[in-house]
Amino acid sequence: MADLPWPIPPELRAEDPDLYYFNPYVDRPKIEWPDGARVAFWVAPNVEFYELHPPRGPARSSWFRPEPDVLHYGIRDYGNRVGFWRMADLLDELGITASISLNVAVLDHFPEIGKAMTDRGWELFSHGVYNTRYQYAMSEEQERGFIRHVAETIHRHSGQTLAGWLSPALTNTPRTMDLLAEEGIRYTLDLFHDDQPQPVKVRSGRLVSLPYSLETNDWTALHTTGGTPRQYAETIKAQFDQLYAEGAESGTVMCVPLHPWMIGYPHRIRPLAEALDYCMQHDGVWHATGREIAGWYLDHYHDAELSRLRGLAGDA
Amino acid sequence: MAVHPSYLDYPLRKRGMDHVHYAFRRHGEHPRMVWPGGARVALWLVPIVEFFPLNMEDGPFAVPGGMGRPYPDYWNYTLRDYGNRVGLARVFKVLDARGLKASVAFNARAAERYPYWVDQTVARGWEVMAHGWDMNHVHRAEWDDEFEASLMRRSVETLRGLSGQPVAGWLSPANALSDNTTHLVAATGCRYTADWVNDELPYEMDTDSGPVWSMPLGHELSDIRLITGYNQRAEAWAEQVIDAFDFLHHEAGEAGGRVLALPLHPWVIGVPHRIGRLAAVLDHIMDRQGVWCATGAEILDAARGSNP
């Protein structure tokens, strides 16, 4: 694929991302999780750094207000100073091994946070470098270099091999998925089309789309829709109940994406604690990391499912 | 196309913050805060008295509460002014009935127009805080340094003249700042700013004019955030304030003093169907042992005394 102009002009825009096959949530091959679990349950906090004065990229501004947007900078900085530590205490109490959506610059700015995450054995996956630097408009060479840079940074700080990718501020190019697969990334969280893992169509290699969620995301629940913390807790429980029920037939995935700068507040942390505790107390739940869920799916289901879907679609 | 190479360069990517004002400090690694009488929670009530001119200009962003309709926007003007006539009277009454005190943040223009409320604040022995010039003057990067400096001086001097108080606290209108504002807070002789909503406890900041303290007024529990921003009901605001208080009261048992700060916009919280929620919240809080209701300056002094 040649490098695209930016913004991508209408004649080069596709009506379908062409990243996956149609696959109705009916009569699919059964997914079985380890120990017969119904739901693969994972918690994915976004640990982020928003720059006070980011460089202006080709797309939108990174801030809500003209710079310096000290109000929103302060709200996000709260996450690293206060919210992260309160959230970490809660996850410890509940015995949850988190999978961290990480702006890797956090490792440089706040090595204390890096140590707190690696000491706990949390998985670190990519959320880019800063949440104020977007993937939009990168050339192929730049985007590939960006992916490698993030992987190297995580490996250098933690010894971990990068497995997962949630693009910073959910910004993509049309070739992001191809590059992720070629660079050995195993799962993407940028697609919201399913409640089960799905194969992603990539030009070479393998990539699985793992269910993240904008529905059980604290940002959506508390900010976009303006719900209360207790309503958010009810949302998590209702989402869990349904996926747990459906998981009796075929394994489902439930993700609770968090932001320490949203959920770490004194008025929000306890409703979250109650909701997570509710999920943790059920039998038949696989408490996993993103890497583990994607790995299980790739090892047991991905290839067969991709062949089946290709066949149904009449693809060679 | 490609992004400019500088977009992939990170010159400030190093230990600590990407600005000069403070070092990183994680919650729990601050000095233990000791409040008078061994209180667990310092309750900081901050009624905010604003003047939204009818002829407000379109500023750098849509100011919450600003004139959103064509001139003359009587709708918004009078709803805001309601707060300074009726709402604030109710807020003061609720606080008086419980023997509570407040730091009242005034736009200088609001204080000039309604000196009655400055007098009422001073007469009660409460604190007068600076809240900039008016809501048409949200601080912004384009402002000339000298203009901003003189506007801040005038704002603080106006309040000093009207109140006879030293005026130690600063809050920028609509929480909007230029890169100079925090430097200039110290230059006006204020001792603290409530603009950086990144912590739950006071901490010292560096500025070109010397140290100034950050006081944790916060934003996420504000009536303007929850009730006007998220369209939540007053009951939901009250539930969250009570949950926050209960959590902090518990945390303080092990970890030392905490601050519960409540920004109160009289045009929001002071209407008849909401004021009862404020009263109920304060009753819940004051029914517990170990609550110290104080002004910002008093909390700052206690915080500094905790860490001499």
Interface of A with B in 254-313 (CB under 8 A): 265-271
User: How many domains does chain A contain in total?
Assistant: 1
Please indicate if any CB of chain B lies within 8 Å of the CB of A156. Answer: no
Residue B296 lies in a domain: yes
> CB–CB of A75 and B196 under 8 A?
no
Residue B197 lies inside a defined structural domain of this protein: yes
Using alpha carbons only, give the angle B195, B199, B203 rounded to the nearest 5 degrees: 80
| Alpha carbon distances (Å) from B206 to B14, B23, B79, B209 | 19, 9, 39, 8
Is there a domain that residue A104 lies in? yes
Q: What gap in Å lies between CA A34 and CA A174, rounded to an integer?
A: 34
B12 touches chain A (CB under 8 A): yes
Q: Report if residue A38 sits inside a domain.
A: yes
User: In this predicted structure, what is the pLDDT of residue A58?
Assistant: 81
Question: Residues B190, B151: contact at Cβ < 8 Å?
Answer: no
User: Which residue of chain B comes nearest to A224, CA vs CA?
Assistant: B230
Q: Which domain holds residue A51?
A: 28-310
Count the residues in chain B: 308
Tell if the CB–CB gap between B200 and A65 is shorter than 8 Å: no
> Which letter, b or e, does each residue of A220-253 get, where b requires 16 or more Cβ atoms within 10 Å of its Cβ?
bbbbeeebbbbebbebbbebbeebbebbeebbbb
Q: In this structure, is residue B133 part of a structural domain? A: yes
Query: Does residue B232 belong to the interface with chain A, where contact is any CB pair within 8 Å?
Result: yes
**A65 near B CB under 8 A:** yes
Least CB–CB distance from A74: residue in B27, B140, B196: B196
CB contact under 8 Å between A110 and B24, yes or no, is yes
Burial class of residue B35 in the structure, from the number of CB atoms within 10 Å of its CB (0-12 exposed, 13-18 middle, 19+ buried) = buried
Q: How far apart are the first and last CA of chain A?
A: 20
The residue assigned the tokens 């060479």 is A141
Candidate from A65, A78, A110 with C-beta closest to B61: A65
Q: Specify the 3-state DSSP secondary structure of A136.
A: coil
Is B8 within the bounds of a domain?
A: no
CB-nearest to A75 from B28, B197, B239 is B197
Question: Which tokens sit at B117?
Answer: 């409320």
Residue A1 lies in a domain: no
Chain A: residue nearest B237 by CA? A228
Q: In this structure, which amino acid lies at residue A160?
A: Q
Rounded distance between C-alpha atoms, residue A142 and residue A58, angstroms:
14
Question: Which residues 11-30 on chain A approach chain B with CB closer than 8 angstroms?
Answer: none
B244 interfacial to chain A (CB closer than 8 Å): yes
Say yes or no: B243 contacts chain A, CB-CB below 8 A: yes
DSSP state of A120: T
In whole angstroms, how far apart are CA B76 and each of A8, A223, B88, B106?
41, 24, 17, 19
Cβ-based contacts under 8 A for chains A and B: 149
* Overall domain count for chain B: 1
| A111/B15 touch (CB, cutoff 8 Å), yes or no | yes
Residue B93 within any structural domain of the chain: yes
Range of the domain at B66: 33-305
Residues of A in contact with B141 (CB under 8 A): 66-68
Q: Around B130, how many Cα atoms within 13 Å sit in the side-chain half-sphere?
A: 30
Residue of A26, A30, A39 whose CA lies nearest to A243: A39
CB-neighbour burial class of residue B271 (10 A; exposed 0-12, middle 13-18, buried 19+) = middle
Residues A143-161 have pLDDT tens digits of 999 999 999 999 999 999 9
Assess if residue B4 is contained within a domain: no
Spatial contact of A136 and A173, defined as CB atoms under 8 Å apart: yes
pLDDT at residue A296, as a whole number: 98
Q: What is the CATH number of the domain that holds B281?
A: 3.20.20.370
Give the residue on B whose Cα is nearest the Cα of A134: B7
Bond into B72 cis (ω within 30): yes
Q: Does the distance separating the beta carbons of B243 and A5 come in below 8 Å?
A: no
Give the pLDDT score at B1: 75
Residue pLDDT tens, chain A, 316 long? 567 889 999 999 999 999 999 999 999 999 999 999 999 999 999 999 999 999 988 888 899 999 999 999 999 999 999 999 999 999 999 999 999 999 999 999 999 999 999 999 999 999 999 999 999 999 999 999 999 999 999 999 999 999 999 999 999 999 999 999 999 999 999 999 999 999 999 999 999 999 999 999 999 999 999 999 999 999 999 999 999 999 999 999 999 999 999 999 999 999 999 999 999 999 999 999 999 999 999 999 999 999 999 999 999 7
Within a domain: A6: no
CA dist., res. B291 & res. B203, Å (int): 21
pLDDT at res. A3: 78
Query: Cβ contact (<8 Å) for A137 and B3?
Result: yes
Inside any domain, residue A85 = yes
Would you state the pLDDT for residue A116? Answer: 98
Alpha-carbon distance A88 to nearest alpha carbon in chain B (angstroms): 12
Identify whether the C-beta of residue B216 lies closer than 8 Å to the C-beta of residue A77.
no
- What angle, rounded to 10 degrees, do the helices at A229-246 and B234-255 form? 90
pLDDT per residue as tens, chain B (308 positions):
799 999 999 999 999 999 999 999 999 998 999 999 999 999 999 999 999 999 999 999 999 999 999 999 999 999 999 999 999 999 999 999 999 999 999 999 999 999 999 999 999 999 999 999 999 999 999 999 999 999 999 999 999 999 999 999 999 999 999 999 999 999 999 999 999 999 999 999 999 999 999 999 999 999 999 999 999 999 999 999 999 999 999 999 999 999 999 999 999 999 999 999 999 999 999 999 999 999 999 999 999 997 65
- Identify from A50, A82, A139 which residue to disrupt to test chain B contact, counting B C-beta atoms within 10 A and taking the largest count: A82
Block residue for tokens 């913050």: B17
Q: Above 0.85 for ipTM, yes or no?
A: yes
Q: Counting Cβ atoms within 10 Å, is residue B109 exposed (0-12), middle (13-18) or buried (19+)? A: buried
Are A108 and B140 within 8 A, CB to CB? no
In a domain, A283, yes or no: yes
User: Which residues on chain B are in Cβ contact (under 8 Å) with A3?
Assistant: 1-2
Residues of B in contact with A55 (CB under 8 A): 4, 6-7
Residue B94 resides in a domain: yes
**Alpha-carbon distance A146 to nearest alpha carbon in chain B (angstroms):** 8
Chain B residues closer than 8 Å to A73 by CB: 198
Structure tokens at B63: 């100011």
Residue B9 lies in a domain: no
CATH number at residue A237: 3.20.20.370
A140 interaction partners in chain B (CB closer than 8 Å): none
What span, in angstroms and rounded, lies between the C-alpha atoms of B173 and A65? 14
Say if A137 is an interface residue toward chain B (CB within 8 Å): yes
Structure tokens at B61: 């962003």
| Partner residue opposite B7 with nearest CB, options A133, A229, A269 | A133
List CB contacts (< 8 A) between B221 and chain A.
265, 267
Q: Which of residues 166-225 of A touch B (CB under 8 A)?
A: 223
Strand ranges, E, within B144-201 = 169-170, 192-193
Please give the single-letter amino acid code of residue A180: L
Tell me the chain A residues in contact with residue B212 when contact means C-beta distances shorter than 8 Å.
none
What whole-number distance in Å separates Cα of residue B211 and Cα of residue B117? 30
Q: Does A138 touch chain B (CB under 8 A)?
A: yes
Residue B87 has what pLDDT? 98
Burial of A316 (0-12, 13-18, 19+ CB in 10 A): exposed
Crossing angle for the helix pair A111-119 and A84-94, to the nearest 10 degrees = 0
- Chain A CA closest to residue B196: A74
